[in-house]
C-alpha cells in the first residue's frame, strides 16, 4: 500500500463525511438558532424546547436526502474499490 493511496483515501473519506453530514448538522444548527432567538424574544427559558424541533427537522432532512446520501456513499465505495483493484491488492 503506497502513501499516496492512504492519503487519497483519507482525503476522500473526509470529503464524503462532510458532504453527508453538512446538511444534517447545518439544519440542526439553523433550527437551534431560530429556537434560541424565539426563546430570547419571548423570554421562554425551557431547555427541552429545542430538542423536539431539532429532532423533527433532522429526521425530515435525513428522509428527504437519503437517496442523495446513498449515491454519495456508493460513489465513494466504487472509487475505493477501483483504487484497490489498480493497486492489485
pLDDT per position as a tens digit, 32-63: 999 989 988 988 888 788 889 899 999 999 99
* pLDDT for position 23: 94
Cell numbers placing 36: 434560541
Helices (H), the chain: 3-42, 51-87
Q: Is the pLDDT assigned to residue 89 strictly greater than 70? A: no
* Spatial distance between the Cα atoms of 44 and 88, rounded to a whole number of angstroms: 62
Q: 53 near 38, Cβ under 8 Å?
A: no
Predicted TM-score (pTM) of this structure: 0.78
* pLDDT for position 74: 96
* pLDDT for position 46: 80
* pLDDT for position 1: 59
Going by pLDDT thresholds of 50, 70 and 90, the confidence category of residue 68 is very high
Amino acid at each position: 500500500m503506497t502513501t499516496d493511496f492512504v492519503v487519497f483515501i483519507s482525503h476522500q473519506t473526509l470529503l464524503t463525511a462532510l458532504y453527508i453530514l453538512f446538511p444534517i448538522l447545518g439544519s440542526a444548527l439553523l433550527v437551534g438558532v431560530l429556537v434560541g432567538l424565539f426563546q430570547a424574544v419571548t423570554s421562554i427559558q425551557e431547555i427541552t424546547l429545542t430538542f423536539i424541533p431539532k429532532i423533527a427537522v433532522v429526521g425530515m432532512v435525513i428522509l428527504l436526502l437519503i437517496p442523495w446520501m446513498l449515491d454519495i456513499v456508493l460513489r465513494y465505495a466504487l472509487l475505493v474499490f477501483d483504487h484497490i483493484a489498480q493497486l492489485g491488492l
